[in-house]
């Protein structure tokens, strides 16, 4: 159960990282 809570707490950072990498890739392509 604690692993699920940890994953839920880590989800925003994962999303933020995905958005950062997406923005970086977009800037790299453009």
User: 3 to each of 8, 17, 20, 25, how far by Cα in Å?
Assistant: 9, 20, 25, 31
Query: What confidence score (pLDDT) does residue 21 get?
Result: 92
**Residue 10 domain boundaries:** 1-30
Query: What confidence score (pLDDT) does residue 1 get?
Result: 62
Over residues 1-30, the pLDDT tens digits come to: 677 777 777 788 888 999 999 999 899 886
Number of domains comprising the chain: 1
Q: What is the pTM of this model?
A: 0.46
Query: What confidence score (pLDDT) does residue 13 get?
Result: 87
Cα dihedral 14, 16, 19, 25, rounded to 10, equals -80
Query: What confidence score (pLDDT) does residue 12 get?
Result: 85
Q: How far apart are CA 2 and CA 19, in angstroms?
A: 26
């Amino acid at each position: 159960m604690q692993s699920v809570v940890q994953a839920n707490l880590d989800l925003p950072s994962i999303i933020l990282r995905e958005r950062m990498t997406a923005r970086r890739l977009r800037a790299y392509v453009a």
